[in-house]
């Protein structure tokens, strides 16, 4: 009998015994092929609430699975596996394992918001994608991508002084991602700058590198930003039931 819906069979669900004899009959190898059940045996009811508690995910419970978001999606046009409608459903009914299978593509949302304008129920799918990516990160399901490490370094400097210092951003980024500072393209670029930029500007940049000047009167802004960031981190982790100790780590 032919196997229908072959695409639904996952490699990890295929079981084969290299050597197996049943009732005296040798069924070794593919003769013993068995496909494990794909049955969903329970709903994780916390999942929707967790996503809904993160910024952007608030309206996920409105979804009625029309597929307008996926039809409108920029990324879906390039990668058919990028399917917001499907993920929203998995979250709604709490199929967490199924969702995690796609953890490496969910973050690919480009926030074009075409789905936002297509959605007849104001689910705000772009926000849900953002919340879901955030959820994956908070839960520790996805490792930090280099771009995220860069963003964090950038943000930290802004919060600390109101300014960024390009050299420091690069140095710290290379350090955190384990890359050497002396990279061919960087050396070439710095050399080019030294030869081409006016001396006064080079002096200014040199001083900034040495003394890290801050935006004047920045302290109050810094405190306000830090308070908000802490508050947000705490709220996010609390809504996911994560402890506060790791919240501090997350805020770093």
Partner 1 sequence: MTKPVLIVGGGPAGLSAAQALAAAGQKVEIVEKEDQLGGAPILSGYAKLVPSGEWAKDAIGGMVSRVEGEKLVTVHKGVTVKKFSGEPGAFAAELSDGKKIDAAATILATGFTHFDSINKPEWGFGTYPDVVTTTQVEQMLSSGAGVKCPSDGREPERVAILLCVGSRDRQIGRTWCSKICCTVSANIAMEIRESLPNCNVYIYYMDIRTFGLYEDNYYWDSQEKFKVKYIKARIAEVTSDGKRLIVKGEDTLVKRPITIPFDMVVHAVGMDPNVDNMTLSAIFDVKLHHHGYIDKASTYASMSGTSRPGVFVAGAATGPETIDDSIAQGQAAAMAALAVARPALEAAE
Residues at the site binding partner 1, with contacts judged by CB under 8 A:
5, 8, 37-43, 45, 48, 61-62, 64-65, 86, 89-90, 92-93, 95, 98, 121
The residue among 121 and 145 lying less far from partner 1, judged by its C-beta, is: 121
Q: Which residues pair with 14 in a beta bridge?
A: 35
- Please give the Cα distance from 183 to 245 (Å, whole number): 37
Residue closer to partner 1, measured from CB, 93 or 240: 93
Q: What angle in degrees, to the nearest 10, is found between the helix axes of 218-239 and 125-138?
A: 90
Q: CB 137 → partner 1: shortest distance, Å?
A: 24
Q: In sequence order, what DSSP letters do the residues of 113-129 get, joined into one string?
A: -HHHHH-TT---HHHHH
Q: How far is the CB of 134 from partner 1 (least distance, A)?
A: 21
Q: What is the DSSP letter of 62?
A: G
Shortest distance (Å) from residue 88 CB to partner 1: 10
Nearer of residues 52 and 73 to partner 1, judged by Cβ: 52
User: Cα(207)–Cα(203) distance, rounded to whole angstroms?
Assistant: 6
In whole angstroms, how close is the CB of 220 to partner 1 at the nearest point?
41
Given the complex with partner 1, which of 62 and 171 has the nearer CB atom?
Answer: 62
Residues 6+ apart with CB under 8 A from 241: 46, 50
166-171-176-179 Cα dihedral, nearest 10 degrees:
120
CA dihedral defined by 170, 171, 175, 180, rounded to 10 degrees?
A: 90
Nearer to partner 1, 121 or 212 (CB): 121
| Min separation Cβ 201 and partner 1, Å | 57
Compare residues 83 and 157 and give the one whose CB is closer to partner 1. 83
Cα-only R_g, the chain: 25
Shortest approach of partner 1 to residue 44 CB, angstroms? 11
């Amino acid at each position: 009998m032919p196997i229908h819906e072959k695409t639904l069979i996952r490699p990890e669900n295929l079981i084969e015994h290299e050597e197996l004899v049943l009732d005296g009959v040798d069924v070794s190898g593919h003769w013993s092929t068995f496909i494990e059940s794909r049955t969903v045996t329970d709903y994780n009811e916390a999942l929707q609430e967790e996503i809904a508690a993160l910024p952007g995910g608030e309206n996920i419970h409105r979804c009625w699975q029309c597929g307008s978001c996926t039809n409108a999606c920029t990324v879906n046009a390039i990668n058919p596996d990028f399917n917001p409608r499907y993920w929203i459903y998995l979250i709604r009914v709490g199929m967490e394992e199924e969702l995690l299978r796609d953890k490496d593509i969910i973050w690919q949302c480009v926030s074009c918001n075409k789905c936002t304008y297509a959605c007849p129920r104001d689910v705000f799918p772009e926000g849900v994608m953002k919340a879901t990516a955030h959820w994956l990160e908070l839960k520790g399901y996805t490792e930090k991508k280099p771009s995220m490490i860069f963003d964090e370094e950038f943000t930290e400097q802004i919060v600390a002084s109101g300014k960024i210092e390009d050299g420091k951003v690069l140095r710290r980024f290379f350090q955190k991602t384990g890359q050497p500072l002396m990279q061919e393209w960087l050396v070439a670029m710095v050399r080019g700058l030294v030869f081409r930029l006016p001396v006064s500007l080079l002096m200014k940049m040199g001083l900034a590198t040495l003394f890290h000047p801050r935006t004047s009167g920045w302290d109050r802004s810094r405190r306000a930003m830090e308070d908000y960031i802490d508050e947000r981190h705490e709220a996010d982790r609390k809504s996911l039931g994560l402890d506060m100790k790791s919240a501090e780590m997350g805020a770093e």
